[in-house]
Amino acid sequence: MIDIWKEFPGIIANAGITLQVKEGEIHAILGENGAGKSTLMSILFGLYHADRGTIKVRGKEVHIKSPNDAFDLGIGMVHQHFQLVHNFTVAENIIMGKEGGFVYDIKKASKKIKEISERYGLSIEPDMVIEDITVGMQQRVEILKMLYRDADILIFDEPTAVLTPQEIDELMQIMKNLAAEGKSIILITHKLDEIKAVADRCTIIRRGKLIGVVDVAKASVEDMAAAMVGRPVSFKVEKAPCRIGRPILEIENLSVMNSKKVLGVKNFSLTVNGGEIVGLAGVDGNGQTELVEAITGLRKVDSGTIKFNGRDITNLSIAERNAMGLGHIPEDRQKRGLILSAPLSSNMVIKEFRHRPFSNHGILDYPAIREYSEEIIEKFDVRSGEGVDSLAGKLSGGNQQKAIIGREITSDPDLLIAVQPTRGLDVGAIEYIHKQLVEERDKGKAVLLVSFELDEIFNLSDRIAVISSGKLIDIVDTASTDEHSVGLMMAGIRKGESDE
């Protein structure tokens, strides 16, 4: 891809980016969110068209108008969200859209799938049903799908976001196998240690511009991070030893139904004290959402109790819990956290607009709301075009998240539940948000951090609780454990059990 330009209304997503990937190479693309990685790949995959620039595959200039053109050129993409039919078998999923005729020969296809699987060490059986296999295996099915279609260039879009540490190791091995067989791999990520582990070369982009191509073996992680962000970054969060206070949140034998009407949280007990950050580690979809919704009142409890500041809140309304001092940074900031079509000022008082000083006998006091919101956006450095009058939807993801965090922290909660507080944010914003959470802890507040990123959990937490299939596996002190053993627990294996 040579000198690719792409402009969206108001933003130049790609300003003259050149990307060269050699045969048999693992090439990483590193950049913050919004740097233009996805746009570049979407152009390569035929989802967008470049305003300028040329694409050459194997030395020949090509015009990729649709994903089908990309397939024909041997370009395959493993998306972040898998595109599989859950009640179909592996083989059926793989040949879907590729049957090539009215009647298809599933036996022949199965044989080919098996061959590919063995050749690259994917260990996938063609007759397994998708809904019965793990997320890591589903991802391998996606890879198989590309290989079945004879793809030579494979694009991986943030492939490790949904995997446990062990699964990540397996994936890295598979990538190396593929590269050894002469496939070219493009790995899109913002995780530096993964690049360090597998990639040969790395193209760094920042704000749509090409910063440089580095030889991964020769560059240090710090250098790459600095090149990505444009300034030196510290990875470790500075924090003083924690001073544990009284219990703030006490969960006892809690069971909660999930939306499929089966128990999503099973007999779960956990206490979070003032002055500490408890990290809830687990792979996405293991009951974290249900647990948080039960604590905040968004979901009904099946059995068990939740106590907050010593008071039983199991059956209180959401508003009552909020009024008692429960702060919640929701997982989906655009769905739950903000009203995107409303100005920031309204969003800042969404929980408290009924109380003085924001309203009086049911009449809103706009100057008071404005003043309060301006204080928040100033203190938390929320950047927007028109200050508190900007619509929440016009803000960047990082600024939206800062606004939510500002709102929650300013209301001075005793317990702050932060779910994936840094998802999709750039390194600078992550640094800032982590600092805020640690500050809350140091003020003596209780913080429950739910995250799918082990780095984040280890960086911030004083204690780590591990959840798997809705059950609490164990609670451990961060100082006395490591990523490997937490990773095992995330897969449901309790300490000591693995040896037997």
Partner 1 sequence: MNKKKVINKPLEARKASPLVVSLSAVFLGIVAGCVFILCIGKNPFAGFERILFGALSNTRRIGNTLGMSTQLILIGLSVAFAFKTGLFNIGAPGQMLIGGITGSILAYYLPMDMPRIIYLPLIVIASMLTGALWGFLSGFLKAKFNVHEVVSTIMLNWIAYWIVYDFIPRFIIDPTISVKSKPIETVHTLRADWLTSLTSFSTMNYGFFIAIVMCVVVWFILQKTTLGFNLKAVGSNRFCAEYAGIKVNRSIMISMAIAGALASLGGLTYYCGYSNIMEMGKMPSEGFDGIAVALLGNCSPVGIFFSAIFFGILKMGRGSLAATGIPTEIADTIIATIIYFTATNVILASFWNGLFKSSFSRKEEAVAAALKARGDDRGVDKLSKEEFKQLAKEGKALVAGKKEGR
Q: Which secondary-structure segment (H or E) carries 251?
A: strand 247-257
Least CB distance to partner 1 at residue 153 (A): 36
* Residue 342: alpha-carbon gap to chain centroid: 26
Pairwise CA distance, residues 229 & 432, whole Å: 14
Q: Are 267 and 471 in contact (CB under 8 A)?
A: yes
68 vs 334 by CB, closer to partner 1? 334
235 vs 366 by CB, closer to partner 1? 366
CB atoms within 10 A of CB 264: 25
Least CB distance to partner 1 at residue 321 (A): 8
Q: Which secondary-structure segment (H or E) carries 464?
A: strand 463-468
Least CB distance to partner 1 at residue 416 (A): 15
Least CB distance to partner 1 at residue 12 (A): 14
CB neighbour list of residue 260: distance below 8 Å, 6 or more residues apart: none
138 vs 347 by CB, closer to partner 1? 347
Least CB distance to partner 1 at residue 419 (A): 11
Least CB distance to partner 1 at residue 440 (A): 19
CB neighbour list of residue 217: distance below 8 Å, 6 or more residues apart: 200
233 vs 340 by CB, closer to partner 1? 340
CB neighbour list of residue 440: distance below 8 Å, 6 or more residues apart: 409, 416, 447
166 vs 359 by CB, closer to partner 1? 359
205 vs 419 by CB, closer to partner 1? 419
4 vs 388 by CB, closer to partner 1? 388
Q: Could you list the residues that contact partner 1 (CB under 8 A)?
A: 296-298, 317-323, 328, 330, 335-342, 346, 350-351, 353-354, 359, 362-364, 367, 370-371, 374, 385-387
448 vs 473 by CB, closer to partner 1? 448
Q: Are 279 and 270 in contact (CB under 8 A)?
A: no
Pairwise CA distance, residues 79 & 158, whole Å: 8
Q: What tokens were used for 117? A: 């699987």
The partner residues of 471 in beta bridges, in order of sequence, read 468
Least CB distance to partner 1 at residue 387 (A): 4
List Cα–Cα distances, 198 to 34, 80, 118, in angstroms.
24, 19, 21
First to last CA, the chain: 52
Least CB distance to partner 1 at residue 292 (A): 11
CA-wise closest residue to 203 among 211, 213, 193, 194: 213
Q: What tokens were used for 323? A: 């009024």
Count Cα neighbours of 117 within 13 Å in the Cβ-side half-sphere.
21
Least CB distance to partner 1 at residue 319 (A): 3
Least CB distance to partner 1 at residue 303 (A): 23
Least CB distance to partner 1 at residue 39 (A): 21
244 vs 350 by CB, closer to partner 1? 350
63 vs 335 by CB, closer to partner 1? 335
282 vs 337 by CB, closer to partner 1? 337
Pairwise CA distance, residues 144 & 98, whole Å: 13
Pairwise CA distance, residues 79 & 227, whole Å: 26
The partner residues of 271 in beta bridges, in order of sequence, read 250
Q: Which secondary-structure segment (H or E) carries 404?
A: helix 397-410
List Cα–Cα distances, 50 to 41, 63, 365, in angstroms.
11, 10, 49
Signed CA dihedral, 479, 484, 487, 493: sign only: negative
